[in-house]
Amino acid sequence: MRAAEQALRRLELTIVRRLDGMLHGSHQGLLPGPGSETGDSRVYVPGEDDVRRMDWAVTARTTVPHVRDLIADRELETWALADLSPSMDFGTAAMEKRDLVIAAIGAVGFLAGRIGDRFGAYVLHERHVHRIPARAGRPALYGLLHSLMDAPRARPVPDPVTLAEGVQVLSAARRRRGMRVIVSDFLDQRPVLDPAAERPWERPIRRLAARHQVLAVEVIDPRELELPPVGVLTLTDPETGRTAEVHLTRKVRESYARAAAAQRAATAAALRRCGVAHLVLRTDRDWVVDVAQFVLRQRRMT
């Protein structure tokens, strides 16, 4: 318990000192807008701004197209969907993917708490979707993160709960408008390599995004993108427990890298079709820098 408490305190200090420091200035949430409170007008940027936010009064006075920014709502409920399926218990770099899931949810939780949002989570684990109620305040967030850290490693089980089912639960259970965060590797039991093909979770996420702001955080380990030249290797599918011995020739490694790149491209294309923000975090990179760069990029685009 003491080790977990120390890990959470280090996570909080990392977010408060590094991440919040990189995001200095007026804080309007992790994803700026859309909200319901109007802000200042500014010059319209073709290809970046939504014409539905055109400020016609200022445009008429200045004869230059202007849009009006929207300030993100305060005191909303932020909910996260944390994927703790067996594929998340994997990592070959600085951390395991499940550690990165907790870090990402901690970052969202601490930033949401700074503006007064209540924060809750649903957790995909084996056959069930577990609910952690939304509460405001630092002690409640610590309790939520403790629950994620203490969750046992998922075992391969028949008919495990899927990401699509988890998104459906998230969408149906919490109707009040706010921010929704999905943290997963977005890997399906049957990989989809065609960028035009619909993913199993795509339609539920699209319905969720019709009502809420949605951030999809994709967690990746470098060994999921390419394999090392180590000769014969025994591989285990964490979702099913099946193993296979593979001779990693150059041709096999190149084919694997092409398939992995195609799968990630298909995921990115599906999330674009859903109209959600997409953040990629890797176990071999500084996740704080990646989150900060993503937020600043989103603010420039809004």
pLDDT at residue 272 greater than cutoff 90:
yes
pLDDT at residue 93 greater than cutoff 80:
yes
* Domain 1-26+73-301 in CATH 3.40.50.410: yes
pLDDT at residue 63 greater than cutoff 50:
yes
pTM score of the predicted model: 0.82
53: which 2 tokens?
A: 């936010």
Looking at residue 40, its pLDDT comes to: 60
Could you read off the pLDDT of 139-149 as tens digits, one per residue?
899 999 999 99
DSSP state of 179: E
pLDDT at residue 92 greater than cutoff 80:
yes
Looking at residue 118, its pLDDT comes to: 86
Highest mean pLDDT among 103-112, 161-170, 175-184, 190-199: 161-170
How distant, in Å, are the alpha carbons of 33, 49, 104, 162, 203 from that of 83? 26, 33, 12, 9, 18
Say if CB 243 and CB 236 are below 8 A apart.
Answer: yes
Mean pLDDT of 18-34: 59
Q: CB atoms < 10 A from the CB of 49, how many?
A: 18
CA 48/CA 220 separation, integer angstroms? 29
pLDDT at residue 26 greater than cutoff 90:
no
Looking at residue 184, its pLDDT comes to: 97
Where residue 37 falls among pLDDT bands split at 50, 70, 90?
very low
Mean pLDDT of 41-48: 75
Looking at residue 113, its pLDDT comes to: 76
CA 181/CA 205 separation, integer angstroms? 11
CA 28/CA 32 separation, integer angstroms? 6
Mean pLDDT of 102-114: 87
pLDDT at residue 36 greater than cutoff 50:
no
Could you read off the pLDDT of 206-264 as tens digits, one per residue?
999 998 889 999 999 999 999 988 888 888 888 888 898 989 899 999 999 999 999 99
Looking at residue 64, its pLDDT comes to: 86
Where do the structural domains in the chain lie, given as residue ranges?
1-26+73-301
Mean pLDDT over all residues of the chain? 85
- Least confident piece of the model among 37-46, 72-81, 123-132, 144-153: 37-46
Say if CB 96 and CB 88 are below 8 A apart.
Answer: yes
Looking at residue 28, its pLDDT comes to: 47
Say if CB 104 and CB 287 are below 8 A apart.
Answer: yes
How distant, in Å, are the alpha carbons of 53, 173, 186, 187, 279 from that of 273? 21, 24, 15, 17, 15
